[in-house]
């Protein structure tokens, strides 16, 4: 029996990974560790909260003593590490918070794993990272696993640092580690500070849709359930010390994405076509805004057989349907602290 610690499991991507592992592997004991910040929400996991092979623990990976005690108590066989501060705008206003969680928190987990896995041959530390560590691309080319790191925001710098620490623990201590770097995720349970869920929320409520600059920045979009499947495949099959890029092969400029989203929302809300697009508002560009990201996931597809299941148009419509059918979840997470943040960051531009 495997006992797996999944950090950040109440967040957007983490909740999908926890659900997949709990349901697919009933012989595994899955412990979900989450600090429950504004982006962590146990409502994301109500459908599995009573499963016998699932346990939730509230805690902060920055607390080294707590992490050490947690490992000593549970005797984890493996870690899938997703806990992170992940919003670029927040990292610009408070970079130290990102250093603490993304760098110090990761090192705390590595230290606890190293202390408890000294004599164990079948342990694994899986670190989930981002394509933003690679910096920016021109009009052509794609990020590969050998692309040099060139982070441009405090967020991406903190994730790049944590990647380096994970590799260093493999090289220095012989720890079994794997890393994946993914493109932008979208889908259900996404906290509405990110582009797609924020825009869905604003369109639904006839609020302006803020678009940085001219909307020409390009992102590669990955359906979150496909990402969870990729994590499953990599966790179980990757060779130690390897890195895999996970991408959806769906490059869209921000403005084209939002125009498509507006068309879908007009259809779903029975509005005249073009009505939602009137809400588009161009705002001052983000500092250090990378022009283009694009992931080459050929290595993952060839070596481990993973492929994305959905084209972006299909996945985006499925995502819109989920948010419109889960208004209570959306209303709950857009109240309180988030509402204050939203008002400060977006309505005053």
Neighbouring residues of 299: CB distance < 8 A, sequence distance ≥ 6: 144, 145, 244, 245
In angstroms, rounded to a whole number, what is the distance separating the alpha carbons of residues 46 and 26?
17
| Integer Cα distance of 92 and 88 in angstroms | 6
Catalytic (active-site) positions: 131-132, 155
Structure tokens at 299: 């290595």
Distance CA 206, CA 25 (A): 43
> What is the CA 49 to chain-centroid distance, rounded?
21
Contact call for residues 193 and 233 (beta carbons, < 8 A) = no
d(CA 101, CA 86): 10
Residues 6+ apart with CB under 8 A from 203: 209, 261, 262, 265, 269, 276, 279
> Hey, is 85 helix, strand or coil?
coil
As a whole number of angstroms, the distance between CA 203 and CA 249 comes to 26
Decide if 319 contacts 186 (C-beta within 8 A): yes
d(CA 123, CA 276): 50
């Amino acid at each position: 029996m495997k006992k797996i610690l999944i950090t950040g499991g109440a967040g957007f991507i983490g909740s999908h990974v926890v659900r997949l592992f709990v349901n697919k592997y009933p012989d595994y004991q899955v412990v979900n560790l989450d600090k429950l910040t504004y982006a962590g929400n146990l409502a994301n996991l109500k459908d599995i909260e009573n499963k016998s092979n699932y346990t939730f623990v509230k805690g902060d990976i920055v607390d080294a003593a707590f992490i050490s005690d947690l490992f000593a108590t549970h005797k984890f066989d493996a870690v899938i590490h997703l806990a992170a501060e992940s919003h670029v705008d927040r990292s610009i206003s408070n970079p130290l918070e990102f250093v603490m969680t993304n760098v110090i928190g990761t090192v705390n987990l590595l230290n606890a794993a190293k202390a408890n896995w000294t004599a164990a041959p079948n342990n694994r530390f899986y670190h989930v990272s981002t394509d933003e560590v690679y910096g920016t691309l021109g009009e052509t080319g794609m990020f590969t696993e050998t692309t040099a790191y060139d982070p441009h925001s405090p967020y991406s710098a903190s994730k790049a640092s944590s990647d380096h620490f994970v590799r260093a623990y493999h090289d220095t201590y012989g720890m079994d580690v794997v890393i994946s770097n993914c493109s932008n995720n979208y889908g259900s349970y996404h906290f509405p500070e990110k582009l797609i869920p924020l825009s869905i929320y604003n369109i639904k409520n006839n609020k302006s849709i803020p678009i940085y600059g001219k909307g020409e920045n390009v992102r590669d979009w990955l359906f979150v359930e496909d990402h969870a499947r990729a994590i499953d495949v990599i966790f179980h099959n990757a060779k130690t010390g390897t890195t895999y890029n996970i991408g959806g092969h769906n490059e869209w400029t921000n403005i084209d994405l939002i125009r498509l989203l507006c068309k879908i929302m007009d259809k779903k809300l029975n509005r005249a076509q073009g009505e939602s697009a009137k809400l588009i508002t161009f705002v001052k560009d983000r500092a250090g805004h990378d022009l283009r990201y694009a992931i080459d996931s050929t290595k993952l597809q060839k070596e481990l057989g993973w492929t994305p299941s959905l084209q972006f148009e299909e996945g985006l419509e499925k995502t819109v349907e989920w948010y419109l059918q889960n208004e209570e979840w959306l209303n709950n997470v857009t109240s309180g602290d988030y509402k204050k943040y939203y008002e400060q960051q977006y309505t005053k531009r």
